[in-house]
């Protein structure tokens, strides 16, 4: 994995600068997605389940990423890390990975633990080119990954039963690209898709196991809280440094807020 926020990915290739280049990268890497399940069984003690998420400071053009690792059996936090980067790519639906991945990769490197599974706040195969953030992250790192999103993106699904664990196929035409999954009775479903090295059944089972009390998996909730906390701390530092020319210069030189 790479810690560079501007010019390289996990394999050292140039980071795309245009939409056409980014789509070409997705088309190039998509065949590397593996559907064979290499993730541990849900609830396995001693395994490491990680969540990653990002938050943006649009004023300073900064993205903060967080990675939080939980024990697979207890769901207790065993490690956490954050990273910051200048936003390296414009906002384009379907290309969000190119905004988020450099900081996410950096946070995972700093985690100090190798996850057995990474849960992403976003999509994997449930993507117009079947290569969302979860799949992209999995291919670059070799880790098993799952996408758990809050909305169905551009896809449709039938009725989902009201009980916890009920689901319906998430469809692009007649192709199942994920599932709408009810994690709490009477609460809106989440949208689960395969990222890399995991089956859809396993992805849904892990999502349910990690969402025992809330709609979203505990991995996502913890990572979301941590990246927002990190962004607030960065904004506080930025405010303080703006009053000190020397400190502001050092912050700019490091590329961090």
The closest alpha carbon to 97, from 26, 32, 150, belongs to 26
Which residues participate in the annotated binding site?
Answer: 53, 121
What 3-state class would DSSP assign to 169?
Answer: strand
Which residues participate in the annotated binding site for Mg(2+)?
Answer: 53, 121
Nearest-5° Cα angle at 47, 31 to 218 = 85
For 245, list phi and psi in degrees, rounded to 5.
-55, -40
Scan for tokens 């633990």, then name that residue.
113
The beta-strand segments (E) located in the chain are 48-57, 62-71, 77-86, 117-120, 145-149, 156-157, 167-172, 175-181, 190-196
The neighbouring-strand residues paired with 118 are: 50, 145
Nearest-5° Cα angle at 91, 13 to 156 = 105
**What six digits make up the tokens of 161?**
């039963």
Q: Which helix or strand (DSSP H or E) is residue 26 part of?
A: helix 19-29
Inter-residue contact 63 to 54 (CB < 8 Å) = yes
The closest alpha carbon to 147, from 164, 178, 112, 123, belongs to 123
The closest alpha carbon to 175, from 133, 216, 129, 217, belongs to 129
């Amino acid at each position: 994995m790479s810690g560079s926020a501007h010019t390289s990915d996990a394999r050292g290739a140039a980071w795309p600068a245009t939409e056409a280049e980014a789509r070409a990268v997705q088309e190039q890497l998509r065949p590397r997605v593996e559907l064979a399940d290499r993730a541990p069984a849900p609830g396995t003690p001693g395994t490491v389940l990680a969540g990653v998420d990002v938050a943006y400071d649009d004023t300073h053009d900064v993205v903060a990423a967080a990675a939080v690792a939980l024990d697979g059996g207890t769901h207790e936090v065993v490690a956490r890390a954050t990273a910051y980067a200048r936003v390296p790519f414009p906002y384009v639906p379907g290309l969000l990975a190119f905004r988020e991945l450099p900081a996410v990769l950096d946070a995972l490197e700093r985690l100090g633990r190798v996850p057995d599974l990474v849960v992403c706040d976003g999509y994997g195969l449930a993507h117009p080119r079947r290569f969302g953030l979860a799949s992209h992250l999995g291919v670059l790192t070799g880790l098993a990954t799952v996408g758990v999103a809050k909305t169905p993106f551009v896809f449709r699904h039938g009725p989902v039963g009201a009980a916890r664990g009920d689901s319906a196929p998430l469809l692009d035409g007649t192709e199942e690209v994920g599932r709408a999954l009810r994690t709490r009775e009477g609460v809106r479903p989440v949208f689960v898709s395969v990222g890399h090295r995991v089956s859809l059944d396993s992805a849904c089972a892990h999502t349910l196991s990690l969402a025992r009390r809330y709609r979203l998996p505990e991995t996502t909730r913890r990572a979301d809280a941590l990246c927002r906390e990190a962004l607030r701390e960065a904004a506080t530092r930025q405010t303080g440094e703006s009053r000190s020319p020397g400190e502001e210069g050092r912050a700019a030189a490091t590329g961090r807020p």
